[in-house]
Amino acid sequence: MSTNSRVHDIGGTQGWGEVPYDPNEPVFHNDWERRVFGLMFQVLPHTAKRPGEFRHALERLAPEDYFCPDGYYGRWRAAIEVLLDEYGHVDKVELDDLLGVLPGTSPGHRVAKIAEVPSENLPPDRLTRKPEHRTVRRELEESSRFQVGDRVVAMGNSGMGHTRLPEYVRSIPGTVVKIHPAEVLPDSTAHNLGERPQHVLCVAYHAKDLWGEAAEENVVINVDLYENYLEMETEPS
């Protein structure tokens, strides 16, 4: 596993039960969820400003904090606590005291530290134009190394750090079906290592290639992958 993460990358993992589907559930289940939602907008401008930083804070949570009983907003709350500590706004020891919990029990004590990501794990940086009314989109002069129809394999790099390469597609051949607009590379921006913008390719995988012969018939999984994750398939299957 190449991510400095714990358990967020769950596509295709097994043992989960039925989706807790309710077509008419409320936007927030209770008061504190709503407050966490609002709090996020207040906290981010003072902490995780760069693309991928907040997601990476979530990813570094310990399993019991990521899959806490408080669910989605529970982990947001935990990530907010982590960021407030890491950015020096509210120390985690002080937080335990403020919350009136046993010292050493809040999520900030269990979170994985941000990994040192070596620059050689990342593609080179380049100057680009940012289109109007966008934040992470960039315009690249060079075209993509790939074109629609290419057979590609996503390997990513083996280092630790934030990434948007889901494990379930690593090393499986897929076909490029579309080229999306280029974006800054979250693997880099989350670690404050520059933008290193990449073309984004939509790669289609057959379910049987991902999950084996027992997979459902007639299923295609499309995943958006940053160009630096990809290589041409060397031995066509």
Instruction: Quote the tokens at residue 136.
Output: 């992470």
Pick the closest to residue 5 from 70, 79, 84 (CA basis): 79
- Nearest to other proteins of 15, 100 (CB atom): 15
70 CB-near residues (< 8 Å, 6+ apart) = 77
SS3 (DSSP) at 170? strand
Within a 10 A sphere around the Cβ of 226, how many other Cβ atoms? 26
Edge-to-edge, what's the strand order for the sheet holding 230-232? 198-206, 173-183, 151-154, 230-232
Residue type at 24 in one-letter notation = N
Least Cβ distance, residue 106 to other proteins (angstroms): 22
CB 122 within 8 A of CB 185: yes
Least Cβ distance, residue 88 to other proteins (angstroms): 26
Handedness of CA 50, 177, 229, 143 (dihedral sign): negative
Question: Which one of 65, 223, 228, 230 is in contact with other proteins (CB under 8 A)?
Answer: 223
Question: Which one of 105, 147, 192, 222 is in contact with other proteins (CB under 8 A)?
Answer: 222
Question: Which one of 25, 120, 213, 235 is in contact with other proteins (CB under 8 A)?
Answer: 25
Burial class (CB within 10 angstroms; exposed 0-12, middle 13-18, buried 19+) of 143: exposed
Binding string, residues 36-55; x marks residues near other proteins by CB under 8 A: -xx--x-------------x
- Nearest to other proteins of 66, 95 (CB atom): 66
- Nearest to other proteins of 72, 87 (CB atom): 72
Question: Which one of 53, 81, 183, 187 is in contact with other proteins (CB under 8 A)?
Answer: 183
Question: Which one of 120, 142, 213, 217 is in contact with other proteins (CB under 8 A)?
Answer: 217
104 part of the interface to other proteins, by CB under 8 A: no
- Nearest to other proteins of 47, 163 (CB atom): 163
Binding site for other proteins (CB under 8 A): 8-14, 16-34, 37-38, 41, 55, 58, 67, 71-72, 133-137, 164-166, 168, 178, 180-181, 183, 200, 202, 207, 210-211, 215-226
